[in-house]
Amino acid sequence: MSKLAPGVRLLRSLTRAGRLMAAAAARPAKTGAKSAPALQIRKHERPEVAPPPPGKWLTATHHAEGQRMSYWLYLPDSMPEAAAQHGWPLIVMLHGCHQSATQFAQGTRMNWLAEDKGYAVLYPQQSLSVQAQRCWRWYAQATQQGGGETAVLASLVEKMCERHSIDRRRIYACGLSAGAGMAAVLALNHPGLIAAVGLHSGPVFGAGHSTMGALHVMRHGAAVHADTAIRALLLRGPMPAMPAILIQGEDDHVVRPVNQQQLAQQWLQLNGLPARMAPRITAKAAGRARHAYEIRDYLVGRKVLLRVARIAGLGHAWSGGDPALKFNVKAGPNASRMMLEFFSKHRRSGT
């Protein structure tokens, strides 16, 4: 029997979990039921296997909104002149389902790039006691409206700004799959805090509202709900420009490419750009160990406000990552490098 790909196993696991949760919700609640035990985290856990870069790798637990969230923080070994003057730019990295924060750090190799470019990197971790597959609940309506995990993550970022020298003009959120969905929710609820986002294999914003609903979005997108969610968001109040880089594999059967198409339309809409705006298209040739990919850039003046990268042959995995871990492939382009390059062009003003 052939071995199932990680993406197929993930999809089956999420489908199974969704059915169990739906069945549990239909049953009368039992009194006196015990909650799942809190996840125990080793105080000095390090990324698995790969040798760490030379900076500080710190770990602690954050308490907010009645929740406890473990996190890891990478601080580079040396501080560039710009960071010495304004503080470190900060990247908030949100892992996907069936991943830990440390696995995400190793898989994306983001700390090595951060060391080279002078970025701090924050890795919050979803607790198994909150979600059994360690998925961020980007689909929950309360979360999409700024409560739940959104509020916890925002307070964690604020905590990092208070405890470390962080440049508040340059805080970015990115993630893979459910982590990408959560990064979008965080940024759109806190646009004054997050300067730009990187969404790798991310679901449409503002839809789902249940585990089974989230699975439907991942497979089919959200159609009309995608437009409605952005209009509802814009009714809350003024929204500053929110730059984004969207990365998607053409062979992703977990979060299918229709999600990227609809995310791109959402980001054009929330940035006040025409739905049929013509992008600048760049096709990249494939090398021996790289996937062919196309980049569509949507510019305002000379600045790229939205970058949409579609990668041929890529499934549900971080492009250019460490193949020793699931949900990563060695073949490029290097998604971490693409995100850092994009983030370097954007910052918040007046903060």
Looking at every residue in the chain, the average pLDDT score rounds to 88
| Position 27 pLDDT exceeds 50 | no
Greatest mean pLDDT among 17-21, 225-229, 333-337 lies in 333-337
Domains of the chain, each with CATH number or no CATH: 40-343 (3.40.50.1820)
CB atoms within 10 A of CB 350: 6
Measure the CA–CA gap between 168 and 163, rounded to whole angstroms.
13
Measure the CA–CA gap between 238 and 15, rounded to whole angstroms.
37
Query: Could you tell me the CA-to-CA distances from 101 to 71, 223, 229, 254, 272 in Å, in that order?
Result: 7, 32, 29, 21, 34
The pLDDT of residue 31 is 35
193: confidence class by pLDDT, cuts 50, 70, 90: very high
Contact residues for 238 (Cβ-Cβ < 8 A; gap 6+)? none
The model's pLDDT over 262-309, given as tens digits with 9 standing for 90+, comes to: 999 999 999 999 999 999 999 886 555 568 999 999 999 999 999 999
The pLDDT of residue 79 is 86
33: confidence class by pLDDT, cuts 50, 70, 90: very low
| 240 class by beta-carbon count within 10 Å (0-12 exposed, 13-18 middle, 19+ buried) | exposed
| Position 351 pLDDT exceeds 70 | no
- DSSP letters for 247-262: EEETT-SSS-THHHHH
Chain mean position to CA 210: 19
Helix axes 6-26, 211-220, angle to 10 degrees: 140
| Position 322 pLDDT exceeds 50 | yes
The pLDDT of residue 78 is 87
Q: Which residue has the higher pLDDT, 59 or 50?
A: 59
- DSSP letters for 42-78: -TT---SSSPPPSSEEEEEEEEETTEEEEEEEEE-SS
Measure the CA–CA gap between 321 and 332, rounded to whole angstroms.
8
Chain mean position to CA 300: 24
| Position 23 pLDDT exceeds 60 | no
22: confidence class by pLDDT, cuts 50, 70, 90: very low
117: confidence class by pLDDT, cuts 50, 70, 90: very high
Q: Which residue has the higher pLDDT, 158 or 2?
A: 158
The pLDDT of residue 24 is 41
How open is the CA angle 186-191-192, to the nearest 5 degrees? 125
How many residues appear in the chain? 351
The pLDDT of residue 92 is 98
| Position 26 pLDDT exceeds 60 | no
Q: Whose CA is closest to 55, among 88, 81, 27?
A: 88
Q: Whose CA is closest to 62, among 131, 134, 159, 132?
A: 159
Measure the CA–CA gap between 328 and 319, rounded to whole angstroms.
6
Q: What is the mean pLDDT of residues 321-331?
A: 96
- The owner of tokens 């990408």 is 180
The pLDDT of residue 17 is 53
DSSP code for 130:
T
Greatest mean pLDDT among 37-51, 168-182, 273-287 lies in 168-182
Measure the CA–CA gap between 322 and 336, rounded to whole angstroms.
11
